[in-house]
């Protein structure tokens, strides 16, 4: 059974930096390297990942959706890689295996994964799940479980 580690109400986009800092702290406390992001299309997964990466020292201009590339690599403040995946366009976990997803997951570096349900069989059990739920035009609820 998964335990809820943190719930955050985001009333608007201005709340993103503070929420990203809270999430970064949970990731660091849990020593998590695999962080999965679930939420409907338009819930703000990429927008939140951008704020999270900024809190880790990645220049905002460097962060973009890897929808077509499948994976983007960023560098944090310590020059460590952060891998950002978007598996929305995949039809099967085999496609993720072919791009080397398992090697990324085993690297020990932070992997931020959008649409993880598309590759569920490949995901390690030791991971965090962040679910973004739309609660209004700009408002969201963020819940982290492990």
Q: What is the pLDDT of residues 46-69, one digit of tens each?
A: 999 999 999 999 998 889 888 778
pLDDT computed for residue 81 by the predictor? 97
What's the pTM? 0.95
pLDDT computed for residue 2 by the predictor? 65
Q: Please tell me the total count of domains within the chain.
A: 1
pLDDT computed for residue 110 by the predictor? 98
CATH number at residue 76: 3.40.50.300
Q: In which domain, by residue range, is 47 found? A: 4-145
The series of mean pLDDT values per 10 residues for the chain, 146 residues long, is: 84 96 96 97 95 95 85 96 96 94 97 97 96 96 95
Residues 6+ apart with CB under 8 A from 56: 24, 76, 77, 82, 110
């Amino acid at each position: 059974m998964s335990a809820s580690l943190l719930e955050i109400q985001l009333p608007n986009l201005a709340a993103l930096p503070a929420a990203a800092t809270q999430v970064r702290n949970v990731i660091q406390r849990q020593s998590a390297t695999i962080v999965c992001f679930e939420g409907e299309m338009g819930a703000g997964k990429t927008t939140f990942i951008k704020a999270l990466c900024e809190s880790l020292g990645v220049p905002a201009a460097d962060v973009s959706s890897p929808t077509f590339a499948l994976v983007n690599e960023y560098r944090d403040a310590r020059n460590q890689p952060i891998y950002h995946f978007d598996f929305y366009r995949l039809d099967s976990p085999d496609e993720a295996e072919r791009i080397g997803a398992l090697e990324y997951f085993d690297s020990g570096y932070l992997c931020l994964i959008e649409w993880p349900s598309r590759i569920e069989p490949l995901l390690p059990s030791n991971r965090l799940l962040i679910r973004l739920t739309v609660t209004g035009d700009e408002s969201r609820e963020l819940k982290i479980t492990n």
